[in-house]
């Protein structure tokens, strides 16, 4: 018996990175899962992998910038899988650069995919969750929700919005059995991290050493926390922005001292 036997989950941006890791984790614990992504090749490969392991998995082409696409994913979950219990809004796209150089279209698209799409996903999912008597929503934010980062104002702005929007969902629907939480990862070994490493003036080793654990985070480690938040183990957790950053934001390090190693 798995924690999610009989439950149905949708994960947007599910074809790679944190999304794919979360789909693997939820499926391994009994959930029927739907990968919602524009990357059909990767999404279908993931679904073949999961189905080959005995899971029930589907891939749907989904542009999260279109409300109709998210509504179609929820309708599929209800029609083909019997309902919806878990919605994870995880898709990503971001422009960047110095504020005075950012293309307004890039700014608008960044907020549409990382913030407005979270609203779309919740708007589409909540009626289906209410039909099941409740459920869990997990929205992917970032540690950059709590502080700026050079050349990343669209990303940081969107993620800050995700945190507060998630709180609103939690307070509006908590008495109806819906819990909503945000996860706020640090640097996770994903394609996004690869791009960050190229843009950073720090070496990969320096980036790893910024973390109290001395390394970057694996997608499976984020997935384990997402699964916890979706489970009855977190039945009293809602409206929370959970930082999962390996201790990256735990210290200021004005002293410049190295960690204890003896």
Active site residue 260: no
The closest alpha carbon to 51, from 85, 27, 71, 87, belongs to: 27
Q: Encode 179-197: b = buried (16+ Cβ within 10 Å), e = exposed.
A: bbbbbbbbbbbbebbeebe
* Catalytic residue (one of 120, 155, 173, 260): 155
Looking at the annotation, which residues are catalytic? 155
């Amino acid at each position: 018996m798995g924690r999610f036997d009989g439950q149905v989950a949708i994960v947007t941006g599910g074809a790679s990175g944190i999304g794919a890791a979360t789909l693997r984790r939820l499926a391994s614990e009994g959930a029927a899962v739907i990968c919602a992504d524009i990357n059909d090749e990767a999404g279908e490969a993931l679904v073949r992998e999961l189905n080959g392991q005995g899971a029930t998995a589907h891939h749907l082409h989904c542009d999260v910038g279109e409300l109709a696409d998210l509504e179609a994913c929820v309708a599929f979950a209800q029609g083909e899988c019997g309902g919806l219990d878990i919605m994870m809004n995880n898709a990503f796209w971001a422009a960047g650069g110095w504020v005075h150089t950012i293309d307004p279209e890039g700014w608008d698209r960044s907020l549409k995919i990382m913030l407005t799409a979270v609203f779309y996903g919740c708007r589409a999912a909540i009626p289906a969750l209410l039909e099941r008597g409740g459920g869990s929503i997990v929205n992917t934010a970032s540690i950059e929700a709590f502080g700026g980062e050079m050349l990343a104002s669209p990303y940081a702005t969107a993620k800050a919005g995700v945190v507060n929007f998630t709180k609103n969902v939690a307070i509006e629907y908590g008495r109806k059995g819906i819990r909503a939480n945000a996860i706020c990862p640090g640097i996770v070994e994903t394609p996004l991290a690869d791009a960050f490493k190229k843009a950073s003036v720090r070496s990969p080793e320096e980036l790893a050493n910024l973390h109290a654990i001395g390394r970057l985070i694996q997608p499976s480690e984020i997935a384990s926390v997402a699964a916890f938040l979706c489970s009855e183990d977190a039945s009293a957790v809602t409206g929370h922005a959970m930082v999962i950053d390996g201790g990256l934001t735990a210290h200021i390090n004005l002293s410049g001292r190295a960690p204890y190693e003896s």
